Structure 1
Amino acid sequence: MREKKKRLSIFGRIFFFLNSVFAALLLLSYILPYAVPKSFPILSVLSLLVPVFIIINFIFMFIWILSVRRQFLLSFFVLIIGYSHVTSLYKFSRNTTAPSQNSISVMSYNVRLFNIYNWIKETHVDKKIVDLVHADFPDVVAFQEFHKNQQAAFNFYTYKHVVLKGKNKKTGQAIFSKYPIVHKGSLEFPNTPNNAIYIDIVKNKDTIRVYNLHLQSLRINPQKEELTQENSERLLKRMAKTFKMQQSQAELFEINRKNCTYKKIILGDFNNSQFSNVYKTIKGSMKDAFVEAGSGFGKTLDYPFFPMRIDFVLVDESFTVNKFKTFTEHYSDHYAIQSVISLD
């Protein structure tokens, strides 16, 4: 007779219980894009933790496999069910195609005011940001948290749209373009310096609308904020309020987008992950350039605990995404992203 498989030890049972908890949390996270922040604000906070749930379930699965235990099937099936979530978090290979003559390169970069307050203890960070952009020289570049002192530094672009906000009108959003701007505008969000700006550019015979979107900031400083401290409840409430504001901003943006008949490119800092309702609302049927042609985690925020992708390039379905790149230069609390797309 075949020897029966040994039962799990007490430690093994506790380990499997923990595995079950994180598998359940990951399953719950699959419905988060459908959880409207105004109705489920605290639940929406969990969307930031989805990368953690995915990574932990992979760890559980591999430990069970190495132990030759069938318990690996729990995390395996949960990860398979959420295959689109997994591939949105990590891309194993870069799917690149040759750009066509009708291609356009775009970049998005939250430059954090060009380090004007010396958050990064390094000299000439502002010049290094300008040099980074100049070296790649994308056709269109969108900046969030732009400072007016840097406008002249980007004179190598012929066309620009800069919208400054705040009491002294020194900071805001900016778009620089090699192509003529035939129309431009700004979409104001109430009670915040964050906003969306846009330009309509002409590429060959096509008119394309390019949005630069900066949603409400979470204002979490990983060097100062500790979720384990006594202020964690207050922090969670603040984050929930932010998510509700983001939803209202996404709804305002959606109205503007629906009224535009041109092909569209959305660049920007959403201050929320690809697993959120806010991202789902803005993305709609558009393509996520990282998912189409990126690789690795695509981390865009300098957050030490887990990879957060909160900056995006979204394009209409009529575009082909040829390339996507996440820069590694650390000149802000965000990393620049760039994509090359072609008009079919």
Structure 2
Amino acid sequence: MGFRAVYKLWYGIAVLITFLLAAFTAVGAFSQFCHPQNHPFVTIAGMLLPGMLLLDFVIALYWIFRKKYWFLFPIFAIIVNYNYLLSVIQISSERDYKQKILTVASFNVKGFNREITGYTVKKIARYLDEKKVDIVCLQEIFWNDRFKKDSVFRAFNAYPYKLSPVGISGRPRIAIFSKYPIISSYFLPFPNSENCGMWADIRLNNEIVRIYNVHMQTTSFNSERAKFVRESRIDGFEGEEQAVYEMKQTLVSNFVKRAVQADVISRSIAKSVYPIIVCGDFNDTPASYTYHRIKGKLKDSFRETGKGYGYTYRGIGRLLRIDYILYSPTMVGISYYSPSFNWSDHNMVISQISLSE
């Protein structure tokens, strides 16, 4: 095979890859409208959007550099996903506001790193107090026989009002700590899952705000990836094939679970007679059905006042924004920031919000 034939073969493969990637990326733009149970392929495309859009950009540059019109395919795929891009890239800045401002934080603490000394708990509590955070929503909390619930609560002594319901496993999963009185609350268990949600009505002087804290079904990506590596070492290609199949089944199953959980939260939000703030780890990107079902008409704090590229999960190349603070349309976002620490594999999300325009 001569050089010209090899060149034509490579050129054809490059064009095919460009087209297929652009098509798959464009399909991902519709994942927000598709229930995972009915459209698993579209849902998976939506999950992969961060990486695919990055590849589309690189491929577009490649064709532009070569002065070939094939760059139009990846550019089209990127444009189709403009709504998703606005959910992860912002140039907003903080606003100057004189009304009452509420500072809210959401943080998946990853079990406080399963420590028995309480070091991480104390560091997190001290940081939140220093930042004058009024209401704290934590996911994936944990305590044990050496560092018990009372010790965790004592670390957050700046917050006199505390709630941490026990899930179906008998273990705590989420918590709300507040500097303002909690006048009522409700636990929202999710079917067939240890994950859960809750809401608490909090009195802020003469106003009442309903705070949601939710932790949606995990993707199980890390455990499935570890299984893939293990199976490939033991059983070679057959093990890899089986592991890939099981990974796909697990991911789709968890997509469906999150969709069901999102329906539960959305119905609860619709019944609220009070303004809403939703905090939590959705375990899904802004391209997902889960995000859009919960968000509804609520504002997204990052889209309102975030800046730069928004990610909250420190793994997978720091590409994913899966932790959120949403709030009622009557509220006004003042600031948003998402500091990164080694206390968890998630970033903390902190938002300042004015309760009225």
Task: Name the TM-score, length of structure 1 as normaliser.
Answer: 0.89
Contact 1:42 1:237 in 2 (8 A): no
Q: 2:4 maps to what in 1?
A: none
1:100 match: secondary structure: coil
Deviates more, 1:96-105 or 1:50-59: 96-105
Which consecutive segments of 4 or more residues in structure 1 shift more than 6 A?
none
Q: Given the alignment, which residue of 320, 324, 332 partners 1:308?
A: 320
Deviates more, 1:105-114 or 1:215-224: 215-224
Higher share of residues assigned helix: 2
- Letter of the 2:138 counterpart: F
Q: 1:201 maps to what in 2?
A: 202
Q: 2:273 maps to what in 1?
A: 261
Please give the per-residue CA displacement for 1:52-80, whole angstroms capped at 9, x wherever unaligned: 11111111122222333333222223322
1:139 maps to 2:134: yes
Percent sequence identity is 27
Listed as ranges, the matches of 1:311-330 within 5 Å are 311-330=323-342
Give the count of matched residue pairs: 332
Please give the per-residue CA displacement for 1:191-248, whole angstroms capped at 9, x wherever unaligned: 3221111111122432111100111122222772558943011011011111111111
Contact 1:54 1:86 in 2 (8 A): no
Distance 1:304 1:80, change over 3 A: closer
Q: 2:98 maps to what in 1?
A: 100
2:165 match: secondary structure: strand
Contact 2:211 2:279 in 1 (8 A): yes
Q: 2:178 maps to what in 1?
A: 177
Gaps of 5+ in 2: 1-6, 233-239
Task: Name the TM-score, length of structure 2 as normaliser.
Answer: 0.86
Deviates more, 1:173-182 or 1:185-194: 185-194
- Letter of the 1:95 counterpart: S
RMSD: 2.3
TM-aligned CA deviation for residue 50 of structure 1: 0.8
1:333 maps to 2:353: no
Listed as ranges, the matches of 1:1-344 within 5 Å are 10-91=9-90, 93-116=91-114, 124-148=119-143, 149=148, 150-167=152-169, 169-221=170-222, 224=226, 226=228, 229-230=240-241, 231-305=243-317, 307-342=319-354, 343-344=356-357
TM-aligned CA deviation for residue 101 of structure 1: 2.6
Please give the per-residue CA displacement for 1:127-147, whole angstroms capped at 9, x wherever unaligned: 322232222131111000122
1: CA distance, partners of 2:316 / 2:259? 26
1: CA distance, partners of 2:130 / 2:221? 31
TM-aligned CA deviation for residue 117 of structure 1: 5.8
Contact 1:37 1:240 in 2 (8 A): yes
Gaps of 5+ in 1: 1-7
1: CA distance, partners of 2:195 / 2:180? 26
